Amino acid sequence: MQTDITGRLLICCPDRPGIVAGVSQFLYNCGANILDASQHSTDPREGLFFMRMVFQLEKADITREQLEKDFQEKVAGPLKMDWHIDYTDHRKQMAIMVSKYDHCLMELLLRWRSGELPVDIPLVISNHKELQQLTEDFGIPFHYLPVDAGNKAEREQEAIRLIKNVNADFIVLARYMQILSPAFVSVFPQKIINIHHSFLPAFAGANPYKNAYTRGVKLIGATAHYVTNDLDEGPIIDQDVARVSHKHAVSDLVMLGRDIERQVLTRAVVAHIEDRVIVHGNKTIVF
Amino acid sequence: MQTDITGRLLICCPDRPGIVAGVSQFLYNCGANILDASQHSTDPREGLFFMRMVFQLEKADITREQLEKDFQEKVAGPLKMDWHIDYTDHRKQMAIMVSKYDHCLMELLLRWRSGELPVDIPLVISNHKELQQLTEDFGIPFHYLPVDAGNKAEREQEAIRLIKNVNADFIVLARYMQILSPAFVSVFPQKIINIHHSFLPAFAGANPYKNAYTRGVKLIGATAHYVTNDLDEGPIIDQDVARVSHKHAVSDLVMLGRDIERQVLTRAVVAHIEDRVIVHGNKTIVF
Amino acid sequence: MQTDITGRLLICCPDRPGIVAGVSQFLYNCGANILDASQHSTDPREGLFFMRMVFQLEKADITREQLEKDFQEKVAGPLKMDWHIDYTDHRKQMAIMVSKYDHCLMELLLRWRSGELPVDIPLVISNHKELQQLTEDFGIPFHYLPVDAGNKAEREQEAIRLIKNVNADFIVLARYMQILSPAFVSVFPQKIINIHHSFLPAFAGANPYKNAYTRGVKLIGATAHYVTNDLDEGPIIDQDVARVSHKHAVSDLVMLGRDIERQVLTRAVVAHIEDRVIVHGNKTIVF
Amino acid sequence: MQTDITGRLLICCPDRPGIVAGVSQFLYNCGANILDASQHSTDPREGLFFMRMVFQLEKADITREQLEKDFQEKVAGPLKMDWHIDYTDHRKQMAIMVSKYDHCLMELLLRWRSGELPVDIPLVISNHKELQQLTEDFGIPFHYLPVDAGNKAEREQEAIRLIKNVNADFIVLARYMQILSPAFVSVFPQKIINIHHSFLPAFAGANPYKNAYTRGVKLIGATAHYVTNDLDEGPIIDQDVARVSHKHAVSDLVMLGRDIERQVLTRAVVAHIEDRVIVHGNKTIVF
């Protein structure tokens, strides 16, 4: 194995003594060098333990398959772990869905081109044509799937086929203005990241900037979350806010909000790419 | 009149040309030097104009009474203004109501003692005895008005009497954990500042930190607002947030929240003292 | 004159009573409606007064030339004002100079294309070819002026000719990695905006991120300032910071810094475009 | 041993595989439950590894002395570790030195009284008498050690005696306006926390707010750092900033700065109390 390739082990299991020791001893015995580790224990009544360990396999003469098989037998099985290892030489495939606003899409594409987002972007799907040229200028296939009252289920099935065809690891809704059906969401559990243009749970639903204006808040925000069937209720990955005042019309909030949206979405996408997010119930642990 | 005393003129009127000119020319003719001015126009459909002007009267040989009488006749009347002048040599009287938490009260008392809050604090009213000693250590009268299911209306009347007796200009609820009745609120319209321990409109009502924890937000906040009869719905004066993560238990949120609460409440109180807040409908203009 | 065109009057003069009244009365008499006004007085020893007034001329039957002539005679002359009016129907011409880093250039071009920056960009000048394609994709002329030890003075003269030819109102150094000579700077006083990749005055000079890393600071920053002959010492327009920790290598600081640089540069450029910046000595007043 | 008492192990050693495994296996074998762990590796050329592990000893039947002896023999010795364990049932003794400004002292005392700072404060030393009453109101011994040109060395020796007498674990300079001599500093290496009223390295030395005003910066800051013999050059623990503008006089910066100072100092002191800070060269690792 090559230097610089790292594995990222994510674990969830009942909390008990010996987990860190067991896992780290196992990895050491495999010749893996632990580069980083983070833990989290939920409160004692729930009693769950979460861990992320980053390790290097440079000197291991064990294969990944063997390592994972052994890990299940010797460590994960006895400790009742849900676990998963991702390797950095598997470049994640990131599908993007977008409507007409270009700021979030552009932010992702630019950071992708600059190397900041170590992913491939195999396709962009949109229910509008406005962003086709922009997408294709970056050399990325663009699929136009217009949605109307009658064809939504069908279009979603088409989108699912396209996304599966490219083996996408996750989907980013970069201001995609259609509500995805449970049928769609169920195919990609904890794999769809949405950016909502408010500081959730305030101003869920449509027109958050207008509602923020009407309420007269002094901060507006944006929220990146995993999509579930409860609209705007999914596990929050990241949020941020910006200060506003009586001087700002709704259109100013929209403009200011764009900057927060793209920052928050970027941070959430980076965390997801780096396997730093664990979903637990309706909340996230972001290591 | 003495140097350094300034008047603060607050205006609301239908928007039209000539307001700034009219007001500033009037003040100039009175010998008043304009130190600062801020304006705000609402959108054209509503067509309202708001202004705050700070002026010095050092060289005027006109009395305040005459100035205000002339202003009404020559400027405010013709331009259909709601207006008000406050002078800095009228030291505002700030009443405080508090329950058991000391952090907001302490913040106000310390800033008052250091001279940062140019007010008098003629009394503190509490439904608990816990903060009596603290209050009296600052030389401020403390009134214990315990509230139970049967005596709320009566206690509020007692509080109103006490507050009126000291000619309080405004009331700060520094974590006062009783909901004030419409009867109380109506006596002090736009004169009661509350600190709510969430980023409103998220987590209105009781237990905001617990609800923030349950929802898994990544920022917690606090909101200072004027009290109206709609609980947690009054005009917002200031808000702020702090970053939190999965590591924080509810008790951590409470502790972190204390710091935001006292900062936000302080800023709102200072803005109110300096006559920088105009309430318009359910929103504020904070100059 | 058309609705929605506004004039922005910037004033600096000795502080004395009657300035606001004089100016606003003058504008009123011209049929100009004051939309916004901001003032600033320096401390009494210096005794200077600064003002920005935004006004609409929709109903005026006076020409701009006449208005400005009258203003000089009746108001500015007697009050010893330095003043300047800019009209929003004069679309500012913004020249950009850049080297190899694309993030600041890209930010400006995207915001320009989205309409957020109401300017024309008549040209981009670079001492490298890397950003030619990007620039030309936006339909903007790109001039390649490579600089070496022997030709710097000559290249600067060429740049001056190009910039003057397009009547540029101001120049943005969007990470232009050459130090401009006094000969160049003197042609565009208070017209060159630079983004420095540190929180000045900390880490002036070369390699600020490396120096920030070495010093172990917990915040890194960026500073937008007008260029003077004192390197990194010009009047600061805006600054901001981001939190960092021991985990961040120099390369991480560079990446995080990019986001602050583009935000701070954007805010400074917007303030300049909107005539909200007045330079006073080595400081700025940003209304 | 009692429940809820935790040990905090801090480690620095040459980086190599097996450290996490070795330490966690050792603790597991001792019956210690690992609650939290953080690691940091410096760049490969330097090759150092830092770790903080928090563990519970509730079910261990080994004594602390035995645990530490075994740890040295079996783990720390072979891996060439510098290490240290602190237990939460050792309440740290925090000495405070202060001059005339009360805001930092008050912040520490209030948080101490509210239980936020789990320390004892055995004494406050001051070169002025102004804060004696305040200190004693909190029930804390106050020592007045006035310093003049002739008695500085002597007074420092007296302070050292007082601080040693109460077995202080660390010293907080809560705006102590005397420069400590190398003789003093050498007695408490990495044990003296100072709050400097600027965003270091900007505006080191005296009068930082005045210098910030003169330079026209748009953010002011504060820096908490360990004291070394190089004035204002010690390892930085925490920093923060607040936005300012041309409107703020030096006195406003001082007032705004007070809020940043007390927040930053609090965060640094809490990190120190919780054994989350490791000094490495002139930098800190804050876990």
Write the pLDDT tens digit of every residue in D193-212. 999 999 999 999 999 999 99
Q: What is the DSSP letter of B287?
A: -
In a domain, A1, yes or no: no
Mean pLDDT to the nearest integer, C150-164: 97
Report the SS3 class of residue C52.
strand
| Contact between C217 and D202 using a beta-carbon 8 Å cutoff | no
- Residue B143 tokens read as 């009134």
Contacts of B45 (CB under 8 A, 6+ apart): none
In a domain, D61, yes or no: yes
Q: Which residue in the list D43, D82, D232, D252 is annotated as catalytic?
A: D232
Would you say residue A275 has pLDDT above 90?
yes
Q: Which residue in the list C43, C70, C232, C238 is annotated as catalytic?
A: C232
Which residues of A are less than 8 Å from C255 in CB distance?
A: 116
CA-to-CA distance for B223 and B240, rounded, in angstroms? 7
CA-to-CA distance for C59 and A216, rounded, in angstroms? 33
Which residues of B are less than 8 Å from C54 in CB distance?
A: none
Identity of the residue in D217, D237, D284 whose CB atom sits nearest the CB atom of C236: D217
D209-245 b/e (C-beta count within 10 Å ≥ 16 → b):
bebbbebbbbbbbbbbbbbbeeebebbbbbbbbbebe
Nearest to D236 by CA among B153, B249, C244: C244
Identity of the residue in C16, C22, C33 whose CB atom sits nearest the CB atom of B17: C33
Quick: pLDDT tens for A15-31.
999 999 999 999 999 99
Identity of the residue in A20, A31, A59 whose CB atom sits nearest the CB atom of D24: A20
| Contact between B236 and A215 using a beta-carbon 8 Å cutoff | yes
Q: How far is CA D80 from CA A252, C7, D13, in A?
A: 59, 72, 6
Q: How far is D119 from chain B (nearest CA, A)?
A: 17
| C32 & C122 share domain | no
| Contact between D259 and B263 using a beta-carbon 8 Å cutoff | yes
Name the closest residue on chain D to residue C246, using Cα atoms: D285
CA dihedral A269, A274, A275, A281 (to 10 degrees): -30
Q: Where are the beta strands (DSSP E) in A106-211?
A: 119-120, 124-126, 142-144, 170-173, 192-196
| Count: domains in chain C | 2
Helices C250-273, C103-113: inter-axial angle, 10-degree rounding: 40
pLDDT band (50, 70, 90) for residue A1? very low
| B12 & B136 share domain | no
Helices B103-113, B250-273: inter-axial angle, 10-degree rounding: 40
| Contact between D218 and C236 using a beta-carbon 8 Å cutoff | yes
B25-47 b/e (C-beta count within 10 Å ≥ 16 → b):
bbbbebbbbbbbbbbbbbeeeee
pLDDT of residue A2: 43
Interfacial residues of A (vs C; Cβ cutoff 8 Å): 102-103, 106, 110, 114, 116, 137, 255, 259, 263
pLDDT band (50, 70, 90) for residue C108? very high
In a domain, C1, yes or no: no
Identity of the residue in B103, B116, B137 whose CB atom sits nearest the CB atom of D255: B116
Count Cβ–Cβ pairs < 8 Å, chain A vs chain D: 56
Name the closest residue on chain B to residue A219, using Cα atoms: B239
Name the closest residue on chain C to residue B59, using Cα atoms: C17
| C97 & C82 share domain | no
In a domain, D1, yes or no: no
| B268 & B154 share domain | yes
In a domain, C123, yes or no: yes
Chains near B (3 or more Cβ pairs under 8 Å): A, C, D
Residues A72, A82: contact at Cβ < 8 Å? no
Provide the 10 A C-beta neighbour count for residue C236: 23
Interfacial residues of A (vs D; Cβ cutoff 8 Å): 17-22, 24-25, 27-28, 31-39, 41, 59
Identity of the residue in A102, A103, A116 whose CB atom sits nearest the CB atom of C255: A116
Q: Which residue in the list B169, B232, B238, B275 is annotated as catalytic?
A: B232
Domain residue limits at C38: 6-87
Average pLDDT, chain A: 95
Q: How many residues does chain C have?
A: 287
pLDDT band (50, 70, 90) for residue A3? low
Nearest to A57 by CA among A82, A35, A84, A25: A35
Average pLDDT, chain D: 95
Interfacial residues of C (vs A; Cβ cutoff 8 Å): 102-103, 106, 110, 114, 116, 137, 255, 259, 263
Residues B236, B224: contact at Cβ < 8 Å? yes
In a domain, D206, yes or no: yes
| B140 & B195 share domain | yes
Quick: pLDDT tens for A131-154.
999 999 999 999 999 999 899 999
CA-to-CA distance for D141 and D143, rounded, in angstroms? 7
Measured in Å, how far apart are chain C's first and last C-alpha atoms?
26
| D42 & D107 share domain | no
pLDDT of residue C3: 52
Q: Which amino acid is at C44?
A: P
Nearest to B159 by CA among B182, B184, B137: B184
Q: Where are the beta strands (DSSP E) in D18-138?
A: 33-41, 48-56, 82-87, 92-98, 119-120, 124-126
Answer with the one of D72, D87, D102 that is the final residue of a domain: D87
CA-to-CA distance for C37 and C58, rounded, in angstroms? 18
pLDDT of residue C2: 42
Which residues of C are less than 8 Å from D283 in CB distance?
A: 215-216, 246
Name the closest residue on chain D to residue C41, using Cα atoms: D247
Identity of the residue in A43, A202, A285 whose CB atom sits nearest the CB atom of B202: A202
Alpha helix positions (H), C197-249: 208-215
pLDDT of residue C43: 83
Q: What are phi and psi of C285, to 5 degrees?
A: -105, 120
| A143 & A181 share domain | yes
Would you say residue C103 has pLDDT above 60?
yes
Q: How far is D245 from chain C (nearest CA, A)?
A: 8
Answer with the one of A53, A69, A87 that is the final residue of a domain: A87
| A34 & A133 share domain | no
Residues C236, C200: contact at Cβ < 8 Å? yes
Q: How far is C114 from chain D (nearest CA, A)?
A: 28
Quick: pLDDT tens for A194-235.
999 999 999 999 999 999 999 999 999 999 999 999 989 999
pLDDT band (50, 70, 90) for residue C149? confident
Q: How far is A71 from chain D (nearest CA, A)?
A: 15
Q: How far is CA A77 from the centre of its chain?
A: 28
Name the residue with tokens 């058991």. Answer: B100
Q: How far is C37 from chain B (nearest CA, A)?
A: 7
Interface test with D, best of B100, B104, B116, B266 (most D CBs within 10 A): B116
Burial class (CB in 10 A: 0-12, 13-18, 19+), A158: middle
| Contact between A255 and C102 using a beta-carbon 8 Å cutoff | no
Quick: pLDDT tens for D56-91.
987 777 899 999 999 999 999 999 999 999 999 999
Interfacial residues of C (vs B; Cβ cutoff 8 Å): 16-22, 24-25, 27-28, 31-39, 41, 59
CA-to-CA distance for D136 and B169, rounded, in angstroms? 35
pLDDT band (50, 70, 90) for residue C1? very low
Interface test with B, best of D36, D104, D110, D247 (most B CBs within 10 A): D110
Which residues of C are less than 8 Å from A116 in CB distance?
A: 255
CA-to-CA distance for A5 and D36, rounded, in angstroms? 26
Residues C252, C213: contact at Cβ < 8 Å? no
| Contact between D59 and A32 using a beta-carbon 8 Å cutoff | no
pLDDT of residue C132: 98
- Residue B73 tokens read as 């006749």
Name the closest residue on chain A to residue C260, using Cα atoms: A263
Mean pLDDT to the nearest integer, A100-109: 97
Residues D239, D199: contact at Cβ < 8 Å? yes
Mean pLDDT to the nearest integer, C134-141: 96
Q: Residue D36 catalytic?
A: no
Average pLDDT, chain C: 95
| Contact between D31 and A20 using a beta-carbon 8 Å cutoff | no
Contacts of D194 (CB under 8 A, 6+ apart): D173, D176, D224, D225, D226, D227, D234
Identity of the residue in C40, C219, C236 whose CB atom sits nearest the CB atom of D216: C236
Answer with the one of A87, A104, A120 that is the final residue of a domain: A87
D191-208 b/e (C-beta count within 10 Å ≥ 16 → b):
bbbbbbbbbbbbbbeeeb
Q: How far is B133 from chain A (nearest CA, A)?
A: 36
| Contact between A20 and D35 using a beta-carbon 8 Å cutoff | no
Residues A179, A162: contact at Cβ < 8 Å? no
Provide the 10 A C-beta neighbour count for residue A136: 12
In a domain, B1, yes or no: no
| D60 & D114 share domain | no
Identity of the residue in D40, D201, D286 whose CB atom sits nearest the CB atom of C215: D201
Q: Which residues in chain B come in under a pLDDT of 70?
A: 1-3
Q: How far is CA B1 from CA A18, B4, B31, B55, B69, in A?
A: 78, 9, 12, 13, 18
| C130 & C207 share domain | yes
CATH number at residue A150: 3.40.50.170
In a domain, A139, yes or no: yes
Chains near C (3 or more Cβ pairs under 8 Å): A, B, D
- Residue C219 tokens read as 């915040």
Interface test with D, best of B35, B38, B104, B110 (most D CBs within 10 A): B110
Is the peptide bond between B201 and the residue preceding it cis, with omega within 30 degrees of 0? Answer: yes
Mean pLDDT to the nearest integer, C205-214: 96
| Contact between C39 and B41 using a beta-carbon 8 Å cutoff | no
| Contact between A32 and D17 using a beta-carbon 8 Å cutoff | yes
Would you say residue D190 has pLDDT above 80?
yes
Q: How many residues does chain D have?
A: 287
Nearest to A224 by CA among B241, C259, B217: B217
| C195 & C238 share domain | yes
CATH number at residue A36: 3.30.70.260
Q: How far is CA C65 from CA A152, C30, C70, C159, in A?
A: 60, 12, 9, 32
| A109 & A246 share domain | yes
- Residue A246 tokens read as 């009586």
| Contact between B217 and A239 using a beta-carbon 8 Å cutoff | yes
Q: How far is B196 from chain D (nearest CA, A)?
A: 21
